[in-house]
Structures are given as structure tokens and as C-alpha cells.
Amino acid sequence: MKIIAAVTGASGAIYARRCLEILCQAPQVERIALIVSDRAAEVLEYEGERLPASPKIVRYDNADMFSPAASGSARFDAMIIVPASMGSVGRIASGVSLSLIERAADVMLKERRPLVCVVRETPYSLVHLRNMTALAEAGAIILPASPSFYSHPRTVDDLTATVVDRAVEHLGVERQHYEFEGRADK
């Protein structure tokens, strides 16, 4: 699989780090096109996160509209935006492609390939909800960075994994993870 991973300037750089770690370890992922916005680079530094290095990762500048990720003929299998800022969501929802992240997302939608947006905002305004609805109607998967507690997470990384595991699964990457089975009736 060839995956595009984009990191925007929303808080939650830990989600980006964890996602890339999982994708780098996945045997079915052969290449990751990584795009980091300028604001995301600032947030990564501020939040004390470092993205992993791997031979699978090829990094592209967010201003490089001649990158393979800007064209449907490059045939990437899926894209994840993690975390997805509401500014990016809004521009993508309205078809405004001023950056490589936005253009690559536009390509995924037009080619009917999986686009997973791990949104990181709370609360949502009506504008946010309408933009996310527009993306969902266009075929994107909106996956809020809302951790679950069924697995009794003990660390922040455990909590992060409850979101990232679900997001990666929506890209089509098989991964062993916690599955909620409910309680047996007494």
C-alpha cells in the first residue's frame, strides 16, 4: 500500500507520531508520503513530539504542488490527516487547494479513495459541523480524536492508540488491537 499521511497544525501531535509508528511497522505499507504543514511543525515542537524516521517515509513540502501526492495518477491507496485542523477541514470541504495537503485530500475525494480526517477540536461550531458533513457526503471518514476507555488505558500512549488504531484500520491497514466484547450477563 501507498499511504499519504498529512499533519496539520491542530493540537494532538502525539496522534501523528503514533500513526506514523504504526504505518511504518505495517508490513502491507510499502511507502508513506508525509506532508507536514508549517503550523504542524511548530505544534510538534511545542508539544515535544518527534515524528519517526523510516525508509518507508518520503517527506514532501506542503508547498510542492508537483509532488506525486498532488495527482491521481500517482495512485496512492489512501490518505490520513492526523490531526486535522478545522481550517484544513474547511478548505478541503469547499474545494480550496492552496497547499499540497489540501490538494492531496481533493485528489483522494475525486478518485474515490479513502480519506480519513482525525479531527481535533472541541466543541464543534455549526461551521465545523457543516464542513465535516460536506466531507462525509463527499466520501471522507470523519474520525474525531476521542479516545475510548473500554480497554482500561493506563498511559497517554494507550489512550492515543484507541484513536489511531481505528483510524489506521479505516485506511485498510490490518492491525491487531483491542476489541470491545461487552460484559457477559450474569
Tell me the C-alpha distance between 68 and 108, whole Å. Answer: 12
What are the tens digits of pLDDT across the range 125-180? 999 999 999 999 999 999 999 998 888 889 999 999 999 999 999 999 987 765 65
For position 185, what pLDDT does the model report?
A: 63
**For the CA atoms of the chain, what is the radius of gyration?**
16
Q: What is the mean pLDDT of the chain?
A: 94
pLDDT tens-digit map of 11-48: 999 999 999 999 999 999 999 999 999 999 999 999 99
Do 51 and 17 touch, CB atoms closer than 8 A? yes
How many Cα atoms within 13 Å fall on the side-chain side of residue 90?
10
- What percent of the chain lies above the pLDDT cut of 90? 89
- The SS3 assignment for 6 reads strand
* Residue in the structure block whose three cell numbers are 466520501: 139
- For residues 44 and 7, the answer to whether their CB atoms sit within 8 Å is yes
